[in-house]
Structure formats: structure tokens, C-alpha cells
Amino acid sequence: MSTYTAIHVAISLIGIASGLAVVGGFLTARRLDRLTAIFLATTVLTGVTGFGFPVDRVLPSHIVGAASLVALAVAIYARYARHMAQGWRTTYVLTAILSLYFNVFVAVVQAFRRVPFLEAMAPTQSEPPFAAAHIAVLIVFLALAIVALRTFKARAEPSRAAAV
């Protein structure tokens, strides 16, 4: 593994871990400001560094990366420029969870490409175990989004624009 790849993977894992903590905050109606900043920054870095790998064509990972960066731009705007006021709270929660989903989606793809027993189960990534893993991840993230919207929106602290 090259140094660049190792840095990209480390940033991605920090983004996923901090993102899971932020979603945990959504589920308990708590704002985790420092973790949110870490999540958003590392997830942006994950997307940006993902474009730094040498390739000769656009890959599905580039499309997911671009979609993630668009979702992150909206999440950052909703969180920091609009302070999650009114409908921006819903926008922030959805785009933050979507960005985390994209990161986890790519992690699952990479796991099936790099972990020997997973690669053996789905060598072409078109086999049922690969599809099942992605469907399971999608279902989990849809459920998290539904619960997070209900909890974080219903019991949200008042926006503290000055404290942000």
C-alpha cells in the first residue's frame, strides 16, 4: 500500500468513525460540534483525496465521490451558514447521513476487493453476497435517517449561531 493510499484510508476511517458518532448524536438529539467538524472535514478530505489516484477513465468511485462532495457542500452550508434553522436542520441531517453512507458504501466495495474471504465470496462484485451487503447497508442508513430526523428534529436544541 502506498503512503498516499494509507493516508486516504486513514482519513476515510476517521470520517466514518466520527460520522457514526455524529449520527449517534442525531439519534439522541445531541449536537456534537467538535465531532461534526471532524466528520465533515475528514469526509471532504476523503472525497478530495479519492480523486488523486492515477486512473485513465472515470470510475464509479469518482461518481460516488462527486455526489458525496455535493452532499457535503449542502451539509456544511446547512450546518454552518444556515445554523440548522427551520428546514435546514432536516437538510443537514439528510445530507450528513448521505455523505456518511457514501463513505461506508465505498468502504464495503473496497472490503470486497481487498479482504480475501470477502473477495472469494464475490470475486466480480456481481454475486449475491456483494449485493446483500449493499442492500443491508442501505437499509441500515435509511432506518438511521428516519429515526435521526424524528429524534434530532423533534428534540433539537435551539440553534446556537454564536456558539458555532
Average pLDDT per consecutive 10 residues, the chain (164 residues; last block may be shorter)? 94 98 95 96 97 92 96 98 94 98 96 96 96 98 96 63 42
| Residue 136 counted as domain residue | yes
Q: What is the pTM for the complete model shown? A: 0.91
Q: How far apart are CA 13 and CA 34, in angstroms?
A: 17
Instruction: Look at residue 153 in the predicted model and tell me its pLDDT.
Output: 72
| Residue 46 counted as domain residue | yes
| Residue 59 counted as domain residue | yes
| Structural domains of the chain, count | 1
| Residue 164 counted as domain residue | no
Range of the domain at 145: 3-158
